[in-house]
Structure 1
Amino acid sequence: MLDDTDRIMQVMEQAFDPAYGEAWNRRQLSASLILPTTWYYLVGADGNAPSGSQEAAGFALTRAAPGEEELLLVGVLPQFRGQGLGRKLLTLFEHGAKLRQAERIFLEMRANNPARKLYEAFGFQPIGRRKDYYRASNGERIDAITYGKSL
């Protein structure tokens, strides 16, 4: 039977372009998950939480702080993109943040990330930029954009 760390790692290994080094390894994920301020959400291909031996099609990993919550990572398997799973994960993130009494939610992404359209359609607004924050495997430097949304 798969545990949730296995499910997240299976998605992580396929969902992130290795050219940008954004995927976490199992040690990084496990260290994050033991913190009481870290939350995660999983969806199967049908948009519901996977159970038993069902694999995940997507995940979101978040970190809470007083009054705010940050989306650390969100990933959907390539074969399930465009089917609403990213939106479902953002909805779960927002709902959980509200339950934890967050007033604002945040995320940071590389400027050339195609998920930008999804985040903006979900109501996130750009609020900051870090020049040359990311480095691609080919040496290219890419700005990070911080997005925020009031709840």
Structure 2
Amino acid sequence: MIGPNDDLDRIMAVMEAAFDPAFGEAWSRRQVEDALLIGNCHYGLLDTFGDALREDAEAAGFFLSRHGYEEEELLLLAVDPRFRRRGVGRALLEQFASQSRERGAKRLLLEMRRGNPAEILYRDFGFVPIGERIDYYRFSDGTRTDAITFALG
């Protein structure tokens, strides 16, 4: 589901503000476009109040997900640091969960690097750890850390 260019611009603006380059987690515009062209990838954008984004509003956060048979994986979730701690992250998770369920997902998945502060948000939402990948993520300085996989049934 490829979105209009202004939605891609908004996604990329939030991505640039939200992801620390040291972790290498941000995607390029091309990666986002390619994912959305596949057809089973979806996104959501919310404004600074955690509401549906109006055409003229600034995006405070977004999610990008990939749907598979009875599962949907949260690929990216980001909130611009200026709008954190206002409920935008939780509202994005609610939108992701709701839309995923509408597409037939019975289980939601996500993977994050160990030590990601968003873990509190995911656990509070009901996600539980189901696995890990040792030394999966590599930082810009060459150090590595584990990936943790979470699920919500």
TM-score range, shorter chain: over 0.9
Counterpart in 1 of 2:140? 137
Counterpart in 2 of 1:43? 46
1:108-119 correspondence to structure 2 within 5 Å: 108-119=111-122
Amino acid in structure 1 at the alignment position of 2:80: L
1:18 aligned to 21, 28, 35, which one?
21
Counterpart in 2 of 1:128? 131
Identity %: 53
How far does residue 15 in structure 1 lie from its aligned partner after superposition?
0.4
How far does residue 96 in structure 1 lie from its aligned partner after superposition?
0.7
1:3 aligned to 2, 6, 12, which one?
6
How far does residue 112 in structure 1 lie from its aligned partner after superposition?
1.0
Instruction: Tell me how far apart the structure 1 counterparts of residues 37 and 44 of structure 2 sit (CA, whole Å).
Output: 15
The C-alpha deviation readout for 1:30-64, integer Å capped at 9, x for no partner, is: 11111210110000102122222322000000000
Amino acid in structure 1 at the alignment position of 2:92: L
Instruction: Tell me how far apart the structure 1 counterparts of residues 98 and 56 of structure 2 sit (CA, whole Å).
Output: 26
How far does residue 139 in structure 1 lie from its aligned partner after superposition?
1.5
Unmatched segments (≥5 aa) in structure 2: none
C-alpha RMSD of the superposition: 1.2
TM-score with structure 1 setting the length: 0.96
Instruction: Tell me how far apart the structure 1 counterparts of residues 80 and 52 of structure 2 sit (CA, whole Å).
Output: 15
User: What is the aligned length?
Assistant: 150
Instruction: Tell me how far apart the structure 2 counterparts of residues 16 and 118 of structure 1 sit (CA, whole Å).
Output: 16
Matched, 1:146 2:142: no
- State the secondary structure of the residue aligned to 2:59: coil
Instruction: Tell me how far apart the structure 1 counterparts of residues 109 and 99 of structure 2 sit (CA, whole Å).
Output: 13
**After TM superposition, where is structure 1 displaced by more than 3 Å over at least 4 residues in a row?**
none
User: Which deviates further from its counterpart, 80-89 or 51-60?
Assistant: 51-60
* Paired residues of 2:45 and 2:63 also in contact (CA < 8 A): yes
Instruction: Tell me how far apart the structure 2 counterparts of residues 52 and 88 of structure 1 sit (CA, whole Å).
Output: 19
Counterpart in 1 of 2:82? 79
Amino acid in structure 2 at the alignment position of 1:41: G
Counterpart in 1 of 2:96? 93
Counterpart in 2 of 1:32? 35
Instruction: Tell me how far apart the structure 1 counterparts of residues 40 and 12 of structure 2 sit (CA, whole Å).
Output: 20
